[in-house]
Structure 1
């Protein structure tokens, strides 16, 4: 059995929140668990595993702009800030925001 760690970090890569799931569990589970405890931020960067319309809308309701590439199975491509997303490698953010 393996595990997956869902972590929210600040723009400098410092961890803020964690949530652990079984490895085969969808990233949506981690997103739902961490959503209510997200601190204020301008942006949230996350990989395509967190691409869900409900998650994007929930972020927007909190005043956070999602920077999440769309899943390949998504019928219509979703726009995201590619330059900002490419900079999410360690420390995973170059913005005033959060990384999931």
Structure 2
């Protein structure tokens, strides 16, 4: 099965698709360390992605004219920021 998010379709590293999904999980570090797309990523790549993703979503939340979209973007942005804030300096993924 393929799932395509047409509004955000682009070609890039595969980890860009899975990291946002992990951010909302109970233990994103464990998911990141176990996933073949993310387990060998340098910590700086994960941190950089989470920071950029959170910034994109917070900006979207502030600019969206649809309250539902704004709320969803804010929630997802907070999840990425929360994970980033909890990441240990010695993270393995």
TM-score, scaled relative to structure 1: 0.27
- The structure whose residues are more often helix, as a share, is 2
